[in-house]
Chains A and B, each alone.
Chain A
Amino acid sequence: MSGKTASLSAEPISAADGRSLESRAPTPWELRQIEAAPKSRNRIAADRATCALPLVLAAAVLAQYKLTPNLNDAATTDVYTCFILLLASAVLVKFVMSFFSKKTFEKLLEKAPLYTAAFLFFALYDYATIKTGILPLPYFPWPDRILNGIYEDRALLLDCIKNSLILLFSGYFAGAAIGLLTGLSAGLSRRVRYWVLPLIQILGPIPSTTWLPIILIVAASLFGGSVFLIALGVWYPVTMTSMQGVLNIPKANFEAARILGAGKARLLFRVALPAAMPNIFQGLTQGMSVACTALMVAEMMGVESGLGWYINWQRGWAEFAKMYGAVIVICVTFSVVNFLLSLVKRRVLRWQEGYWN
């Protein structure tokens, strides 16, 4: 919404303010503001309190952490303090801004219960671990230990992220490229479909990780074998969806292209491929989750680097804090990867919005 901000005191647009309505149509957000019933004074006060609640909980987390005695006088660091302060100050910035921007206020109001729940979780988890030991060590390390574990191993973890991503994307792109090739050609040609369909029907139901024990023995290099494993897992959904995507294309699209003089290559790359993109992206998303699973299994079973290897290695040392740390790093890494994929998807499919309604 192009950075337009609205303060609570001076509404930017209202039913009474006819001038701004005449010059342009209201944005959807402004429309909701115009049509919404005015809030009572009490309601506004309650909403402000809701927005402040995460901050109260954050203060409670810190008070408990710093001021109450630890179980067995366990030593703690301020890494966790900094972590909580970082989260809390992000909320605080939004809270202050919410007095000046109505939009920020509404966003914060919507998210505040979630933030509150997050801080409540930290408070309860601290209470159950470091303060009382209801959840015992070593299985349930407290957040401070986990954060310290990540910090200690940061160089190794970065290296593991790098190795994991190299393996992930080598397999992913190989599988996606071959899947696209088989899927598109099977969608376009009955003869190719004749040969590809049975292959899909046989290989499809086998989870790609099933092949791992065989690959571990047969493959000349573990890396190559794991790339193959991940690629196989990605190949199946991408082939299926791109074939289905081509079969779903309205015949008129192909006929129009042929009449305008399109040859075989143009029909494939300029008609079939873009028209099937919505389906293909379903396969690419599905393939990414399969690839992440296959990556973890491959790294835990054989490959001697990467995040899956790291978590397994730390298990050998019974370093529970570092295992939890690895889980968090894996979560962040895969979230970023999936976010990037969704950005690409939104860019490629921007023509699609509302079309299939």
Chain B
Amino acid sequence: MTARAGHVSLENVTKIFARADLNSTLVALEGVSMEIRPAEFVSIVGTSGCGKSTLLRIIAGLETATFGRAYCDGELIAGTNPKRGLVFQEHSLFPWLSVRENIAFGLRATGRYRSGAGLVDALISIVGLSEFADSYPHQLSGGMRQRVSLVRALVVSPDVLLLDEPLGALDSFTRMNIQDELLKLWNEHKNTMILITHDVDEAIYLSQRIYIMSPRPGRIAGEIPLRMSYPRNRSSSEFVNVRNEILRRLDFAKEEQEEYNL
């Protein structure tokens, strides 16, 4: 991996979906611009339906922007590329492959299996799944499955790792454990991390910068840089202040809640 790879930049990206059943269109994203530096950990938070997943899928190359442009390391993004890995929310492991073979899939697909076979086992043991290397996905718990998904995306050493609410379906204990593992992996691999989440604490705990999105159509409503050092304390006053600030911007502030709860 070259030192400065993993630069993502979006210029005025707008995405409009056709709604086949209604014969109408839906603006999912409007005029989104962002600049993400190599090896930066960035989170995008927003309520569900604000187009944050669409944004990630455009960066991954699974969707094409209707207007505007998306670049990775100066190249226009067109189609998928193993340099941009993606971890899905759930159920994306190949159920017919064992844990080891799931992880090795990317190496085989990119013709690097011979040289990288040792890496598979190394990564399996980093996330503590050595005992389950030959198990099938249905034999694993939800947390184990997401660990495998994470490692499967990392094995091809992507410059950018896109995380689409990877921990959204997990219980809070497992989630906190995997958050720490994520930070560890990020420290080792030094790749760009772009995390989509609706969990504000998760975003603050992990990232150096947070984009806040507003829904219908999805727009960037704000950007918050975080300068706290790692590992972060979830109950520190700085953490709590940032959380309140984000919640306020997401229109979930206390005053309005009270008004709502009349």
Residues of A in contact with B (beta carbons under 8 Å apart): 250, 252-253, 255-263, 266, 270-271, 274-275, 277, 351-355
Contact = CB atoms under 8 A, between A and B. Distances in A.
Contacts of A253: 92, 94
Given A252-B92, A351-B96, A259 B138 contact: no
Contact of B60 (A250, A259, A274): A259
Residue in B80, B81, B96, B136 with the greatest tally of chain A CB atoms within 10 Å = B96
Interface residues of B, number: 29
B105 A260 contact: yes
Contacts of A352: 95-96, 138
B96 A256 contact: no
Interface string B89-133: 001111111100000011011100000000000000000000000
Contact of B138 (A258, A260, A353): A353
B147 interface: no
A252 B85 CA distance: 13
B224 interface: no
Contacts of B137: 355
Question: Which of A252, A257, A260, A274: most chain B Cβ within 10 A?
Answer: A260
Q: Which of B80, B81, B82, B93 has its CB near the most chain A CB atoms (within 10 A)?
A: B80
Which 9 pairs show the lowest CB-CB distances between chains A and B?
A260-B106, A252-B92, A355-B138, A261-B82, A261-B109, A274-B96, A261-B110, A262-B109, A256-B92
Contact of A266 (B92, B97, B109): B109
Contacts of B152: 256, 260
Nearest to A255: B62
Contacts of A262: 105, 109
B86 interface: yes
A263 B109 contact: yes
B84 interface: yes
A5 B93 CA distance: 39
A257 B109 contact: yes
14 contacts: A255-B80, A255-B88, A256-B93, A257-B94, A258-B80, A259-B82, A259-B85, A260-B82, A261-B82, A275-B96, A277-B96, A351-B138, A353-B138, A355-B138
Nearest to B135: A351
Contacts of A355: 95, 136-138
Contacts of B29: none
Nearest to B94: A253
Contacts of A353: 138
A133 to B, nearest CB: 60
B156 interface: yes
Contacts of A271: 94
Nearest to B87: A256
Given A250-B91, A252-B91, A351-B136, A261 B96 contact: no
Given A266-B108, A355-B95, 20 more contacts: A250-B92, A253-B94, A255-B86, A256-B93, A256-B152, A258-B62, A259-B62, A259-B80, A260-B105, A260-B156, A261-B81, A262-B109, A270-B108, A274-B94, A275-B96, A351-B95, A351-B96, A352-B95, A352-B138, A355-B138
Contacts of B105: 257, 260, 262, 270
Contacts of B156: 260-261
Contacts of B109: 257, 260-263, 266
Contacts of A351: 95-98, 136, 138
Contacts of A255: 62, 80, 86, 88, 92
A258 B80 CA distance: 6
Interface in B47-80: 60-62, 80
B262 to A, nearest CB: 42
Nearest to B106: A260
A236 B156 CA distance: 41
Contacts of A250: 91-92
A257 B97 CA distance: 13
Interface in B131-162: 136-138, 152-153, 156
A277 B95 CA distance: 11
A260 B104 CA distance: 10
A357 to B, nearest CB: 8
Interface in B25-44: none
B95 A256 contact: no
Among A263, A275, A351, A355: residue with most chain B CB under 10 A? A351
Interface in B213-244: none
B59 to A, nearest CB: 11
Nearest to A274: B96
A271 B110 CA distance: 15
A260 B110 contact: yes
A174 B72 CA distance: 48
Contacts of A256: 86, 88, 92-94, 152
Nearest to B61: A259
A351 B135 CA distance: 9
Contacts of B85: 259-260
From A258, A263, A275, A353, name the one whose CB has the most chain B CB atoms within 10 angstroms: A258
